[in-house]
Amino acid sequence: MTALSTLRRLVVTGLAGLLLGPVAGAATLDAIYEGSLVPESFDAPFPITVEVRDVQGVIVGQIKTGSPYSGSAPITSGEFDSGRCTLRAPINVGTVLRLSGTCHPRLFEGRYTLSSNRKEGSSTGTFRLMRKADPGKPGDEAARRRAVLPTTTLTECINANTRCLVGCPKGDYNTEFLCVNRCRQRHLACKGKATAPPPAPVRSDQPEAEER
């Protein structure tokens, strides 16, 4: 009876994941934030720029920091869930930055942990980053049209799915099965929104006709 109850609960949970998966991944985040990391040690704040894009619950993007922890690197691990973001990036050799907090279209704030074996040492503190203003001028219809175009590519969907699968817990079959199924649903939803790369221009080998 216990095995039957466990199987029934697994089936019900799996069906719920199939039904709610696309809905849960509907909220998206695509922004560039700028601001400063404020150390708890009362050292001077240092600048940071965070570019994030939500790919069905997995965050991809880039992080750039200024002196004394200057560096730039892609986000190697990122999650977006119910308005909260957790990001991790090795901004330079021997230094890993972790950001965790609430992320909204116009604001990303929370706490950071910077682990480093360099002479600068490690650092912890808080941050409050504002969204960078869009480059288009007011009334620029072309810029507005570009802003609403989908920017997710199939390659990003594949990379996000790989990260999702790698993050699934190992050892418990039921938990791993549900995690893999959730990754699959997110991947399918991502592919449905992805844009194909533009076709390569065709070059003609025939010389142009000379003007007479």
* pTM listed for this prediction: 0.56
Please tell me whether residue 98 adopts helix, strand or coil conformation: strand
Q: What is the mean pLDDT of the chain?
A: 76
Please tell me whether residue 103 adopts helix, strand or coil conformation: strand
Which pLDDT band, with edges at 50, 70 and 90, does 48 fall under? very high
The predicted pLDDT at position 131 comes to: 94
Closest CA to 112 of 166, 160, 46: 46
**pLDDT > 90? residue 32:** yes
Q: Where are the domains of the chain?
A: 2-26+140-193, 30-131
Q: Is the model more confident about 86 or about 135?
A: 86
Which of 97-103's residues contact partners 24+ apart within 8 Å by CB, and which partners?
Answer: 97/63, 97/65, 97/69, 99/50, 99/63, 99/127, 101/127, 103/29, 103/52
Please give the span between the terminal C-alpha atoms of the chain, in angstroms, as a whole number: 92
Tokens of 159: 């990379």
- Return the DSSP state at 24: H
The predicted pLDDT at position 186 comes to: 78
Which pLDDT band, with edges at 50, 70 and 90, does 139 fall under? very low
Find the mean pLDDT for residues 202-212.
50
Query: 75 and 98 in contact (C-beta within 8 Å)?
Result: no
CATH architecture assigned to 30-131? Beta Barrel (2.40)
